[in-house]
Structure 1
Amino acid sequence: MRESRLAVPPLLRRAVAYEVGMWRSLYRWILRRPPALEPGAEAFSYLGVVRPILGVFIGLSAIEIPIFDLIISRTVPWEWVRTLALVLGAWGLLWMIGLFASLRLHPHVVGDSGLRIRNGTTVDFTLPWSAIATLDARYRSLPSSRTLQLEKDGDGGLVLNVGTGSQTSVDVALRAPLAIPLAKGPSEPVTELRLYADDPTGLVSCARRHLARHLSGSGS
């Protein structure tokens, strides 16, 4: 007799992983336990562009809980409804704070192993220096607010945008087309990546130093 396994849909798996990652980030942020960096590595934030928006949502959520509770206590006779509303309100507030924490605790990292590109707990991959041709600081607007967006460049190559707040600020040209490991699976081979960093000039300068050391060490 064949054993049958209950297959977990990929979308559900990613949703669970996202939720777990966010609550773990909140826990580490409250306890002031940021993930450790490899020796000599530098971290670069991308939170600045969305910090005001997240701050407004968190503030509104905090104000909404007591107001909504007051309305329900005056209009709904069932105590369980009030309790449920309080639980959902508190969960929503903590969820927003957890999202903030996940973005804060998972910055881009430039180190000896390469350029690590992140967005919260949903995007996390490293480009080795051997795969990178050039880096430049350049602000670009994106057509939507989605974190990951693919587009064709002027030469027919494929570009992967890892955006924040519908924009990118660093262009990374690759030496050869490369499939990027993402949560949904490997992307189509791309010739360029674009990401957002609060300090694009600092990230590019640091990355160029590492890239130069790699090239001199490899004799290229």
Structure 2
Amino acid sequence: MSAAGLVRRAVAFELGTWRSLGRWVARRPDVPAGAEAFGYVSAASPVLWTFVVLSAVEIPLVDWLLPWPAARVALLVVGVYGLLWMLGMLGGMHVHPHTVDDEGLRVRNSFAVDVRVPWEAIAAVRVRRRSVEGSRTVVVAEEGGRRAVSVAVVASTQVDVELRTPLVLPLARTGGRPVDELRLAADDPAALVRRLRAGLAGHAAATPDADAR
């Protein structure tokens, strides 16, 4: 990626963090009317809150320890900025949950991942807890000639979404290659799977000739 592209991504990420913090404070989750929300933040919350608390303790401590006024002011600004930034990251996960509606499944991770999977593209869903290698949010794995993409939280996923046919998803990590399965994290994977199965049944009933086409 070019330097200009990296700058654009950094700016977009920064703006997304602050927008998320604003939505979280205002209690305005990004859930469209008629959609049902499913969270995925519970595994990450303890880690993020630990950093938030430590940062909050560090700010007055550093201010008390440093004898130089200019350095104290500079580090105070940096400390407050970092604290708010981490709260924005946490808020992003709260205000951008997965959603299910009449169109299908929408898989998200904060504001950085947003993937829509229509009902007609889903073959089956199941609860399956998996560990994901590495610390990246999006991980692509090749398994027996099939390609699976995981949208992980704390290096784990809990729900498998099997696709009817390989599908190209708007995720840079896939390199534009189609995937056969999408795996995602969920706080209540059983509830999400029940809702998805009900949606699949409803979609099949509304389009009885879908499998024949």
Quick check: TM above 0.5?
yes
Across the aligned residues of Structure 1 and Structure 2, the Cα RMSD in angstroms comes to 1.6
Aligned pairs (5 A) from 1:173-184: 173-182=162-171
Q: CA-to-partner distance for each residue in 1:141-177, whole Å, 9 max, x for gaps?
A: 0111210000012x31110010001000000000111
Q: Tell me by how many angstroms 1:15 deviates.
A: 1.6
CA contact (8 A) 2:149 2:174 kept: no
Residue 164 of structure 2 aligns to a residue whose secondary structure is strand
Which residue does 1:142 correspond to in 2?
132
Which residue does 2:15 correspond to in 1?
20
Residue 136 of structure 2 aligns to a residue whose secondary structure is coil
Distance change >3 Å, CA 36–CA 168, structure 1 → 2:
closer
Greater C-alpha Rg = 1
- Rounded to whole Å, the distance in 2 between the matches of 1:31 and 1:198 is 23
Which residue does 2:203 correspond to in 1?
214
Is 1:34 the counterpart of 2:29? The answer is yes
Q: What amino acid does structure 2 have at the position aligned with 1:129?
A: W
Which residue does 1:11 correspond to in 2?
6
CA contact (8 A) 1:45 1:108 kept: yes
Distance change >3 Å, CA 184–CA 13, structure 1 → 2:
farther
CA contact (8 A) 2:31 2:37 kept: no
Residue of structure 1 aligned with 2:147, choices 118, 141, 158: 158
Residue of structure 1 aligned with 2:60, choices 55, 66, 71: 66
- Rounded to whole Å, the distance in 1 between the matches of 2:140 and 2:31 is 31
Q: Unaligned 5+ residue runs, structure 2?
A: none
Give % identity: 45
- Rounded to whole Å, the distance in 2 between the matches of 1:162 and 1:174 is 15
- Rounded to whole Å, the distance in 2 between the matches of 1:179 and 1:161 is 14
Q: Tell me by how many angstroms 1:200 deviates.
A: 0.4
Is 1:190 the counterpart of 2:179? The answer is yes
Residue of structure 1 aligned with 2:156, choices 154, 162, 167: 167
Name the TM-score, length of structure 2 as normaliser: 0.93
Name the TM-score, length of structure 1 as normaliser: 0.90
CA contact (8 A) 1:144 1:166 kept: yes
- Rounded to whole Å, the distance in 2 between the matches of 1:113 and 1:21 is 25
Which residue does 1:44 correspond to in 2?
38
Q: Tell me by how many angstroms 1:186 deviates.
A: 5.9
Q: Unaligned 5+ residue runs, structure 1?
A: 1-6
Distance change >3 Å, CA 208–CA 215, structure 1 → 2:
same
Q: Tell me by how many angstroms 1:208 deviates.
A: 0.7
Which residue does 1:96 correspond to in 2?
86
Which residue does 2:112 correspond to in 1?
122
